[in-house]
Structure 1
């Protein structure tokens, strides 16, 4: 902490400390041994602490996480930002440093770090982690946070004030440990975050207490750079755990800093209250924005290539930093320690670093021109304010050369997924129709049929007596099983079309199962929504005014979010405005939610009236302060990669399979639904007689 003279009123210091500790504590978790079933506030099977370092990723100690059976743990975290409610979710150890305790060792060797990945998506807070190479600086005033046993058999969240007194091992030693003094560390706090209060960021992990004395041992965050580098060239960001975690971390904080939703202070907001905010001349807010833009790019091809980029900048000594930088964020951290003392020179370094990133080789794919323009746009804004005109002219020319190369080497459109064994238009599908009874509120009729690709429907079963909605999945399991048996082919499951009213598009049919322990329908086969409402006066949407042109076999579709701007819900355009969208548009409803209100339902109706053949709908709860930029990015990638609207059911199916398999990079898609206008047979009207049940 800086001296008192660096602050204004003492109340300013207290307000900052309270705000920072709230951010840290919200992201600090308890780690327990599975299986679940213990009382969440009880002492049983408590292993230690950890903290969310990125969405669905927890950093803790290896000696904490590896005590779980087979690398499985249960994580208890704060699920309500405005209260004390806590939730429990399973997790699995993805990587540990080292991977096992040597035989005969009394403790876990350094660096004693582990990354735990949640096996299902949940909403939670994340800490902000330093990008500097040496976060735990000698003499630093820090706080340690973690869970520990308390009187009465409960578990309490504890914190203490400490000071860095030295280190065991040199800076380039993989097993370097940092010694803390001045306060007690309590069993159970292992794995908790170490926070530098002077910079307002997490810099390490609590490892252990000292034997019968105050203080303890911590591990610097930079030790994660020693994670194993993939032996083969990366095909995707997720091939390297280090890059996947920190890219997700930086996108998370940039999204929240740039979002118009919510009123609570972000990490960048709180850091800005410091007498000497982190981020050098950038400050915390510009830094958060830049790190988010860097995280949109493919990582460096190698550590060597990153070091070469940094060494080409004046006054930068990248090889003095141990462990060596691995990602773009690490390179930015190196720039904070340059010999450039002049403000203009420091800004020039940052702009030139951005140009170097744009010109760098890529380990997988080519650089997106859109993302490249976004990074250069940020850098040019800085240059226009901070740099002299002649220098700006030279930098503009360098960007022009880089952009020309990007345009010339633009990656061709991503080829569509391999064709399914039988195209949907050439095969049967299963149709489930659910109708609310007009004379009995809250009760529903259902029918299951096989929709022949020739147009007719083959009845399977129905129930017109009216049942509560929550009982429908169990009642129709046998009928769906029979229908799937008639349609599925080896390696090619049939599509399930769920026909419901627009106000029921939040129905999670894809999450239903046919048996208590069976997989969800959406993870086994494509599940899409269709509407029992067929447009004005009962006419199909393609029977009224002209709508978007029909699908063509060529690629080129793109997503367009129509109900959300800058994380704020907006009204879906009128039908005329929707029809003015380009023909290749797939509309996206980001704010439909799980229980849509009248306006959300009306927005769906306008999409149907406009005649779109397909639309994507997010059904997760849509609170006013929801930050949804990850969802926007995801649909922006998924729709073009599908190639055509015909392949969208299979693209959404792959997303659901990934979520079911615990692939956290796809958790943004949890709750997504696909509406399609056409099903394999003529839809019966709501007033048509039901089948006669045998």
Structure 2
């Protein structure tokens, strides 16, 4: 493969690439490679430091590179690691860190040390191709390290973050943790993870995996962008070299968005208040583009990440699209008037006391280079309805906001095991497309389900939650599983950074409702007729539907008025309660309440009477069915702050809207 590397760009990246050593005298072994991403910050693979930084991962070690402190060793410590195991444990020959956990952030202990920094791609997607160059170090005699680089082909993707490097590439020991450069755009797009054990080629990690460093990523990227903007007057910098590459739109004439524009825009975005939630960025990107980004972009954490979703193929879209996005950011910040955050010691200092106004001034300045016919696309931009400031204390009616949907399909021959599918309905074009799931093989035991889906569910919540409005969770279940206490689950880290109660029960933090997985596809006429009748009515009332001596007949449910809500004091998945709930579903009821705990005995008692009295009063205060899930959540939030039992502790709610039917089943599930 011919060498396509720009020699000046090669000098820049070599000066930003480093290697690690022990701080102990005489321990000269080189551990692996890394690279400088912002002032004082080094990115590497977690496995490079595994078993080498002390039992708690706090031991000091040394970082060395030609562009760092005149090539002299610099003290550093591990600051953050995605690895969920013991970073201090000695690895064995079988230790292979998962792709999603093999990144680490190293911090130089002396913040005054000056050094080069790589340019990190802002994009989530990294197209396959041949124009990649891998940098790093390999061991040399006497514990020294020898600089190495080689060209590579990205042949395939391995999950959301893994990028496979082609079989014609051979990587030496020690290069793990080094940067992977896209030679066409002049941006670092990945971190080299490993070479293949018995063949040539290897695996790299997309730099978008850095977004999992929730506590550090926004500040590091802001510092990265401010640092690069500060180097703009130097003759040879990353952006000046990018202008000469095939992926750089060099001109400022017309509607081309150049690396110079990108550098200026990202520096301005680094100075304003960060987004309140990833979903805010997603909505602004969708409004700026006029459609959803191609593929499935990784969760945008910063305004910078949103900028990276405005490309089409290998090239940026027109300048007016980027300016429209910047204008929407400006409008959002002005509308919500965010309070300034207290800077951390490593935060970039604001260059202007009114950074939002400065952003607006630059938009107008840059707009002068865009054809006048496109100016209105920028100046007339308006915020999506979902981002307009809400009145204090108001919550949009259910489900006029994003919804997370978890579908649990039991196996035909083993009801204790399920296949699961996770979707996010945020109004986008791919809302019906599964986000994650397991729909083949032996499935998952229902009793183990919570631990299996904890991470995917937490990621789905982070994609659409806002500080004021956590997304509702809809769980589509087979009737036999209706009593699964999903609202009592704890999904660790399901709450974002702004939430101090990160271990709240799901039903305390967000509305949790049950849906019938048997109602896929086109709604039945009885279901629609009863639902619209309920909406047209002026009040809801509770109706006891499980009686001593057995369940009711089908006519009992058929004869209920649309506003009469079935309430039962017995479990819905077994016995008389299951019989009653089956009748309710067959009669087209879309809303029902039931007690999913154990019944006190064969006959009803005082607890059953309390449930029916309480639900009667509860529903009398509901002026519209769409209020019901949020009202129940508020009760759970209230009782979570005190002690004692409450009628709502063990109550589940069916809220199954035929206007939003579950997606029709695609294909046939594999047999276990």
Normalised TM-score (structure 1) = 0.47
Choose between structure 1 and 2 for higher RCO, CA contacts under 8 A separated by at least 6 residues.
Answer: 1
TM value normalised by structure 2:
0.49
